[in-house]
Amino acid sequence: MASGCSYKDLHYAYRVGVSTISNIIKEVTNAIWNNLHGEFMTLPNTISDWEYIANGFNTRANFPHCIGAVDGKHIRIKKPNNSGSMFMNYKDFFSIVLLAVVDSYYKFTYICVGSYGKECDSTIFKECTFWKKLIDGDLQLPAACPLTNDSDLSIPFVVIGDEGFGLHQHLMRPYGGNHLDRNKRIYNYRLTRARRYVECAFGILANKWRIFHRPLDVDTSTAISIVKACTVLHNFIIDMEGVQSNIETTSNVSSVVNVFTDAPNEQNSTRGGRCANVIRSEFTNYFISTAGAVPWQDESIS
């Protein structure tokens, strides 16, 4: 996984049969996931755990009440047998989607991997366990509360995503359009700044595991096992070595993350309910207030 070598490369390098290599890869990746994910990728289930994540985003990204940044990326695969066009994505190659929620330390707190390449981020997210628990109130999140002491409006804890996701009271996305006023552009900048952690996490993942730099020439179940093993090892390395050992890769994340392709946007995903729009407006007002503004934001949107 680290070298990105194909089965054929490994066959010639180690004089081991391709079928044997295939079985080893399946066994080892499954063992990595089964033995590590319970400790290194467990969805938080206490208020204090979520408060820790939210404090991280507030301190490191200046975005309050955020419990994660979500995004989806295409993982190139060979065409599965008898699959028709199910795995064909909008970029005209076959893929499975890795959808992930990331904290402010570039760690994956939740992944959903294996969806058809033709599906969009928002559709996949709405079908995953994380989203269902979020909207059903089963994540044990901290209670909604005002962003400042001067406000009477209680704001729930939210996930942040790009324009590929639909606006929801628990999911904040950018304002759409090309002619936004200053306040909305500042909100978009602040959200994008916080959302960069999920992009950086994908960049670190691709930089560490060279297997993602080429199509996975394996069956779909093995491809899923490889992705799961790489993501949990990603968390393991950060926990063992610290964030700083990986942080240098984020400086050129824009070039590395291009290994992955974004999932397509859902059509008509810009509108949210009245409650969601009120919450987004409150975030917008906070980011331009004395309590919530950062000194460089006006320069960043100019």
Closest listed residue to residue 257, CA positions, set 198, 216, 206 = 206
**pTM score above 0.85:** yes
For the chain, give the percent of residues with pLDDT over 70: 87
Model pLDDT, residue 205: 95
- Give the phi and the psi of residue 31 in degrees, each rounded to 5: -65, -40
Residue 85: the pLDDT is: 86
Q: Check if the beta carbon of residue 107 is closer than 8 Å to that of residue 114.
A: no
Using an 8 Å Cβ cutoff, are 198 and 92 in contact? no
By C-alpha distance, which of 149, 150, 119, 133 is closest to 68?
133
Domain ranges of the chain: 7-139+197-271
Return the closest-CA partner of residue 251 out of 211, 204, 301. Answer: 204
The alpha carbon of residue 199 and the mean position of all alpha carbons in its chain are separated, in whole angstroms, by 7
Across the strands, what pairs with 99? 72, 112
pLDDT in tens, 51-101: 999 999 999 999 999 999 999 999 999 888 878 888 989 888 999 999 999
pLDDT, tens digit, 9 for 90 and up, residues 174-186: 999 999 999 999 9
Taking 70 as the pLDDT cut, the residues of the chain under it are 2-4, 11-12, 243-259, 261-272
Q: What's the pLDDT at 263? A: 60
Q: What is the pLDDT of residue 83?
A: 80
